[in-house]
Amino acid sequence: MQKHSEQKPVNRKVIEKAPSISIVIPTYNRGKVLIDTLQYLLRLSTAPDQIIVVDQTVDPSSDVKKKLKEWHHSTVIDWIVLPQPSVVAAMNVGLQNCNSDYVLFLDDDIQPIEGLIENYLAMTANQEYGIIAGRVIQPWDNPDGDQTSEEFSFNSRENSNAPFFIGANVLVNRRIALELGGFDENFKGTAHDYEREFSDRVLSTNYQIGYCGSAAVFHLKEQTGGIRTYGHFLKTIKPHHAVGAYYYILRSKRVKHKARKILSRLRQRVVTRTHLTQPWWIPLTLVGDFAGIVWALALYLSGPALLSQK
């Protein structure tokens, strides 16, 4: 009888494929600052797997349009044009058109800090995170990243868990986002608080929201285009800045005593330094907010506008 020698186990080095990341940039009436943002991203040492620009600009300048077309035809970016402005609709289009494990949503007026992609990739090793928020350095922030208030700081350098995210710099697990129906397109106008509503849905599934202090961008706060198209939020009669906040109050299961919360927000909207020095804006702001409440109520009664409802 032939004796078989015992085979020694083969040592195999397990090579895990890194998750893929697509960048999605919703943009609206930004102009050259969008081109600058894209050039910053293209110079990163670690490139994303894909860059999608979802453009809602009605009449872009010829120079910007020419450059975006050039990059699109040379497959540097995917350029998608939408007929109506909506940041949440643009984000949903980005979700549906990318081919990656994660989607990095960035504002169209940012400058990334080197290591943005690598540091996000390192954080994805924690499978508990459905969302990973990145550091956003605002023009008024301390660049050292010190905690300046009791509220959660998106300028901190320390990794941690977060209660929600801000849309200027956030990595989203694409599978989870699609399973939840994407972003609620009932957040109209400036889409205020859409981040909190989406965060609530992710947290309700027992996934966590991580915060990566080393995945950072400078937010340039461009003074034209984007939400600035709707005017200054304290000096407008338009409801576009208010509707999202009131819709979130009505929609969220986390908000208790909704009527009291609405009245409290109304008071906060006019008890400001701006209204103290320019009181003629008080009645106009209140008109805009009352219109925002009516608009929000109509949207709430119609039910959420998720991808699964389309």
Whether 162 maps to a domain, the answer reads yes
Least reliable range by pLDDT among 66-80, 150-164, 206-220: 150-164
Overall average pLDDT of the 31-45 stretch: 94
What does the pLDDT read at residue 14? 39
Whether 16 maps to a domain, the answer reads no
User: Using CA atoms, how far apart are residues 29 and 58, in angstroms rounded to an integer?
Assistant: 7
User: Using CA atoms, how far apart are residues 171 and 173, in angstroms rounded to an integer?
Assistant: 7
Which of the pair, 96 or 206, is modelled with greater confidence? Answer: 96
User: Taking the chain, what is the end-to-end CA distance rounded to the nearest angstrom?
Assistant: 70
pTM of the full predicted structure?
Answer: 0.89
Question: Among the three residues 219, 248, 274, which one is the final residue of a domain in this structure?
Answer: 219
Based on the domain organization, do 103 and 184 belong to the same domain?
A: yes
pLDDT exceeds cutoff 70 at 296: yes
pLDDT tier, 30 (very low <50, low <70, confident <90, very high otherwise):
confident
Based on the domain organization, do 25 and 146 belong to the same domain?
A: yes
Domain of residue 240: give its range. Answer: 232-309
Whether 5 maps to a domain, the answer reads no
Whether 192 maps to a domain, the answer reads yes
Overall average pLDDT of the 127-155 stretch: 84
Q: What is the mean pLDDT of the chain?
A: 88
What does the pLDDT read at residue 9? 41
Overall average pLDDT of the 135-142 stretch: 89
Least reliable range by pLDDT among 16-20, 243-247, 251-255: 16-20
Based on the domain organization, do 298 and 175 belong to the same domain?
A: no
What does the pLDDT read at residue 183? 97
pLDDT exceeds cutoff 60 at 3: no
Based on the domain organization, do 117 and 65 belong to the same domain?
A: yes
pLDDT tier, 223 (very low <50, low <70, confident <90, very high otherwise):
low
Based on the domain organization, do 208 and 253 belong to the same domain?
A: no
Whether 226 maps to a domain, the answer reads no
Whether 10 maps to a domain, the answer reads no
What does the pLDDT read at residue 2? 40
Question: Among the three residues 166, 196, 219, which one is the final residue of a domain in this structure?
Answer: 219
Based on the domain organization, do 100 and 169 belong to the same domain?
A: yes
pLDDT in tens, 231-248: 666 778 889 999 999 999
Give the residue carrying structure tokens 């929201």.
209
Based on the domain organization, do 210 and 295 belong to the same domain?
A: no
What does the pLDDT read at residue 146? 63
What does the pLDDT read at residue 61? 80
> Is 301 strand, coil or helix?
helix
Based on the domain organization, do 177 and 248 belong to the same domain?
A: no
Based on the domain organization, do 64 and 118 belong to the same domain?
A: yes
pLDDT in tens, 116-133: 999 999 999 999 999 999
Whether 8 maps to a domain, the answer reads no
What does the pLDDT read at residue 143? 75
Closest of 187, 144, 147 to residue 167, by C-alpha: 187
Based on the domain organization, do 53 and 197 belong to the same domain?
A: yes
Overall average pLDDT of the 54-70 stretch: 88
Give the count of domains, the chain. 2
pLDDT tier, 158 (very low <50, low <70, confident <90, very high otherwise):
very high
Whether 96 maps to a domain, the answer reads yes
pLDDT tier, 57 (very low <50, low <70, confident <90, very high otherwise):
confident
Question: With the CA atoms of 229, 234, 235 and 236 taken in that order, what torsion angle do they form, in degrees rounded to the nearest 10?
Answer: 60
pLDDT exceeds cutoff 60 at 147: no
